[in-house]
């Protein structure tokens, strides 16, 4: 049995729905289908989720929301008209959208979550109707009826462990199950949504809960590429990768999934297949547990690069002999509520790397001031100009020359390496460079491992 999730661009128009219907019909194993809300139809178009957020804000501020409600209804209407559906489904969808405006909610956060969730909820109702109309028996399943329970905050939910037990009791025989992504219910019965892009999480949770053989995630790219196509034109695709390779790559900028979105699938040991709705026969990228993978032909699976980092460099003579230095430093971070990303260290030196999107200038100044006062380093420097390149591959752990080849490819082109660290996982090499060098560094590493190895 497969759980299949379709992203917003795959469910944005009648034409796209038609492709989705064909994909579902082509494989009887595709038993559980997870919907996103209709996404953008073209550049500049609005996603239904964004329209719903606007709708929620207007209702909260007691503004006239008629135009927004009409715009949202029109998105579903367009798809319904494409298939010439009998009117009941659109009557139901319009009714549910209208009813939202007059439903009382505990507070603004609960209201926002419920409005947002309707993008996927209404799309699941619509897809079930379209499939049935096309002769493929399908039924909408409300997450409430499946016991899909979440905790956390209304707009930042976490799945509750009871969900998995509840899902194991759901009968999967009979019509295909169409399940809305992105949200669940709190134990008190309120709608809570995951973070944006959270339909992927729903698919992963259902894969684990239903013990699926495969989680197919349909999006609008043929596969995950070995490197960002904006840096290297027409890069090689990754046909197979391990979960932890995926996680290390998405950490440093790969953006097909939020890496955390597939954690439930990892926990359930369910392989994930990223595929393209617009080219469904392409094999896509298969993401599997580590033990299924080793490709000795190329130790590297992918190269990612991110400029979202800053570093704090500290130098203090005899740092290695000083007991408690790092502890005091970490206590300062804790007081400021700051988490660090990496901390490579030497005899007298320590570099701490931060995700700069989580820091602002006043915090950085206060932090540096306190470190100077408390720890009295001989030298302290805040480095804003920092990029991190992650060279990732299960094969790294099994080869002896990969690190050397990576370094050679950079030194041959006069690219200065500010930091290099073979990751604790043993499947990644992390390189810090100046931002201006990052794209060229990625290209040279790519050429070394992917172009030269093919000749």
Q: Is 49 in the site for ligand ASP (CB under 6 A)?
A: yes
Judged by CB, which is closer to ligand ASP: 200, or 245? 200
Q: How far is the CB of 45 from ligand ASP (least distance, A)?
A: 13
**Contact at 8 Å (CB) between 109 and 142?**
no
For residue 242, the Cα-to-chain-centroid distance in whole angstroms is 16
What is the largest distance, in Å, between two alpha-carbon atoms of the chain? 78
- Paired tokens of 275: 């595929």
Judged by CB, which is closer to ligand ASP: 6, or 450? 6
Beta bridge partners of 387: 433
Judged by CB, which is closer to ligand ASP: 196, or 398? 196
Q: How far is the CB of 184 from ligand ASP (least distance, A)?
A: 13
**Contact at 8 Å (CB) between 253 and 231?**
no
Provide the residue count of the chain: 455
Using CB under 6 A, which of 198, 209, 264, 271 touches ligand ASP? 198
Among residues 414, 395, 160, the alpha carbon closest in space to that of 298 is found at 395
Q: Which stretch binds ligand ASP (CB under 6 A): 191-199, 365-373, 380-388, 407-415?
A: 191-199
Q: How far is the CB of 208 from ligand ASP (least distance, A)?
A: 18
Using CB under 6 A, which of 143, 147, 180, 181 touches ligand ASP? 181
Q: Is 36 in the site for ligand ASP (CB under 6 A)?
A: yes
Which 94-153 residues touch ligand ASP, going by CB under 6 A?
A: 119
How many residues lie near ligand ASP (CB under 6 A)? 13
Q: Which runs of consecutive H residues, i.e. helices, occur in 153-286?
A: 162-168, 199-209, 243-251, 263-267
Using CB under 6 A, which of 14, 151, 175, 197 touches ligand ASP? 197
Q: Is 163 in the site for ligand ASP (CB under 6 A)?
A: no
φ/ψ of 214, rounded to 5, equals -155, 145
CA–CA gap between residue 363 and residue 333 (Å, rounded)? 11
**Pairing state between β 30-35 and 176-180:** parallel
- Paired tokens of 324: 């408690």
Judged by CB, which is closer to ligand ASP: 258, or 267? 258
Q: Is 184 in the site for ligand ASP (CB under 6 A)?
A: no
Q: How far is the CB of 421 from ligand ASP (least distance, A)?
A: 33
CA–CA gap between residue 402 and residue 349 (Å, rounded)? 26
- Paired tokens of 368: 């540096």
Q: Residue 324, SS3?
A: coil
Using CB under 6 A, which of 3, 12, 24, 37 touches ligand ASP? 37
> Where is 240: in which H helix or E strand?
strand 240-242
Q: How far is the CB of 399 from ligand ASP (least distance, A)?
A: 37
- Paired tokens of 171: 């009968």
How many of the other CB atoms lie within 10 Å of CB of 64?
9
Judged by CB, which is closer to ligand ASP: 8, or 209? 8
Q: How far is the CB of 435 from ligand ASP (least distance, A)?
A: 29
Q: How far is the CB of 36 from ligand ASP (least distance, A)?
A: 4
For the chain, the C-alpha Rg in angstroms (whole number) is 25
Q: Is 12 in the site for ligand ASP (CB under 6 A)?
A: no
Q: Which stretch binds ligand ASP (CB under 6 A): 168-176, 198-206, 378-386, 430-438?
A: 198-206
Q: Is 199 in the site for ligand ASP (CB under 6 A)?
A: yes
Q: Which stretch binds ligand ASP (CB under 6 A): 61-69, 96-104, 190-198, 276-284?
A: 190-198
Q: Which stretch binds ligand ASP (CB under 6 A): 193-201, 238-246, 301-309, 310-318?
A: 193-201
φ/ψ of 392, rounded to 5, equals -125, 135
Q: How far is the CB of 43 from ligand ASP (least distance, A)?
A: 16
Q: How far is the CB of 49 from ligand ASP (least distance, A)?
A: 4
Kindly tell me the sign of the dihedral angle through the C-alpha atoms of 265, 267, 270, 271: positive
Q: Is 430 in the site for ligand ASP (CB under 6 A)?
A: no
Residue 65 makes CB contacts below 8 A (sequence gap 6+) with: 55, 58, 59, 101
Q: How far is the CB of 293 from ligand ASP (least distance, A)?
A: 27
Angle at 152 between CA 330 and CA 50, to 5 degrees: 105
Q: How far is the CB of 7 from ligand ASP (least distance, A)?
A: 6
- Paired tokens of 113: 């979550």
Judged by CB, which is closer to ligand ASP: 183, or 309? 183
Interacting residues toward ligand ASP by CB under 6 A: 8, 36-37, 47, 49, 119, 181-182, 196-200
């Amino acid at each position: 049995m497969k759980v299949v999730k379709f992203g917003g661009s795959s469910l944005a128009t009648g034409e796209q729905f038609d492709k989705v219907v064909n994909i579902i019909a082509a494989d009887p194993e595709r038993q559980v289908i997870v919907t996103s809300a209709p996404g953008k139809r073209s550049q500049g178009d609005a996603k239904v989720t964004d329209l719903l957020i606007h709708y929620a804000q207007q209702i909260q501020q007691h503004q006239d929301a008629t135009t927004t409600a009409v715009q949202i209804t029109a998105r579903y209407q367009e798809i319904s008209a494409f298939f010439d559906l009998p009117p009941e489904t659109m009557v139901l969808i319009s009714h549910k959208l209208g009813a939202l405006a007059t439903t009382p909610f505990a507070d603004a956060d609960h209201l926002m979550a419920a409005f947002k969730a309707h993008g996927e909820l209404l799309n699941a109702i619509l897809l079930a109707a379209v499939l049935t109309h096309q002769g493929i028996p399908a039924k909408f399943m409300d997450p409430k009826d499946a016991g899909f329970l979440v905790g956390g905050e209304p707009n930042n939910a976490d799945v509750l462990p009871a969900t998995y037990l509840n899902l194991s009791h759901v009968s999967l025989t009979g019509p295909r199950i169409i399940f809305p992504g992105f949200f669940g219910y709190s134990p008190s019965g309120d709608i809570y949504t995951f973070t944006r892009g959270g339909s992927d999480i729903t698919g992963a949770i259902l894969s684990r809960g239903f013990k699926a053989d495969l989680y197919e995630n349909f999006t609008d790219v043929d596969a995950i590429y070995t490197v960002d196509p904006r840096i290297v034109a027409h890069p090689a695709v990754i046909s197979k990768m391990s979960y932890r390779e995926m996680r290390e790559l998405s950490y440093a900028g790969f953006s097909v999934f939020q890496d955390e979105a597939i954690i439930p699938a990892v926990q359930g040991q369910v392989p994930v297949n990223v595929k393209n709705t617009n080219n469904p026969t392409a094999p896509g990228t298969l993401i599997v547990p580590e033990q299924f993978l080793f490709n000795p032909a190329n130790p590297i699976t992918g190269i990612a690069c991110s400029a979202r980092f800053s570093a704090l460099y500290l130098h203090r003579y005899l740092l290695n002999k000083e007991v408690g230095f790092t502890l005091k430093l970490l206590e300062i971070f804790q007081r400021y509520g700051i988490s660090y990303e990496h901390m490579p260290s030497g005899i007298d030196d320590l570099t701490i790397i931060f995700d700069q999107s989580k820091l602002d200038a006043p915090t950085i100044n206060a932090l540096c001031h306190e470190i100077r006062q408390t720890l009295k380093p001989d030298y302290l420097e805040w480095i804003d100009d920092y990029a991190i390149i992650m060279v990732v591959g299960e094969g790294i752990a099994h080869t002896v020359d990969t690190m050397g080849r990576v370094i050679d490819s950079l030194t041959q082109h006069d690219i200065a390496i500010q930091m290099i660290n073979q990751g604790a996982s043993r499947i990644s090499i992390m390189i810090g460079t100046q931002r201006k060098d990052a794209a060229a560094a990625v290209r040279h590493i790519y050429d070394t491992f992917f172009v030269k190895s093919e000749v």
